[in-house]
């Protein structure tokens, strides 16, 4: 085993509380153990999915008032024409927009597109749900 390395993580108290209760429910006795498992699961999932063709749905909730965010969301989609099947925009309320983007392509590309959308400032929530295209599954 490689040398253990310690690193610090900053996150807001509320999120940490929720994380602690979620890992307690799963029977973890330490945060380190839970975080190690999360990292491993993420790395494996990414590797496994990278080249497979998938369909997916990206759900994006973002701040309608944040300057240029709408443009950035649209710009990113224009740069990924091959992966974007369809987009639906819903004005949730005075302050919030929901964008549902149906995507199709190599899982790695889809994942990176979702990551980029998630990283835009003013995006409150971004989820990616991937599914099979159905071919090769009987």
Footprint on this chain of Ni ion (rule: CB under 5 A): 91, 97
Nearer CB in complex with Ni ion: 35/61:
61
Radius of gyration of the chain (CA): 18
Q: Give the span between the Cα atoms of 55 and 96, in whole angstroms.
A: 26
Minimum CB separation of residue 98 from Ni ion in Å reads 8
Edge to edge, the sheet with strand 96-106 lists: 84-91, 96-106, 53-63, 123-132
Nearer CB in complex with Ni ion: 106/120:
120
Nearer CB in complex with Ni ion: 25/71:
71
Nearer CB in complex with Ni ion: 54/97:
97
Identify the bridge partners of residue 103 per DSSP, sorted by sequence position. Answer: 56, 84
Minimum CB separation of residue 103 from Ni ion in Å reads 20
The β-bridge relationship of strands 53-63 and 96-106 is antiparallel
Q: What is the number of the residue whose Cβ is closest to Ni ion?
A: 97
Minimum CB separation of residue 89 from Ni ion in Å reads 6
Minimum CB separation of residue 94 from Ni ion in Å reads 10
Tokens standing for 96?
A: 């919030």
DSSP state, 8?
-
């Amino acid at each position: 085993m490689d040398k253990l390395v310690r690193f610090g993580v900053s996150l807001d108290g509320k999120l940490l509380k929720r994380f602690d209760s979620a890992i307690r429910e799963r029977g973890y006795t330490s945060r380190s153990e839970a975080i190690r498992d999360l990292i491993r699961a993420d790395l494996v999932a990414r590797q496994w999915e990278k080249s497979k063709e998938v369909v997916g749905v990206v759900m994006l909730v973002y701040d309608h008032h944040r300057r240029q965010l709408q443009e950035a969301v649209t710009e990113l989609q224009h740069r990924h024409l091959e992966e974007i099947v369809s987009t639906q925009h819903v004005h949730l309320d005075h302050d919030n927009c929901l964008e549902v983007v149906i995507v199709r392509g190599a899982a790695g590309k889809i994942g990176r597109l979702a990551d980029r959308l998630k990283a835009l400032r003013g995006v409150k929530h971004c989820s990616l749900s991937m599914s099979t295209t159905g071919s090769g599954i009987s």
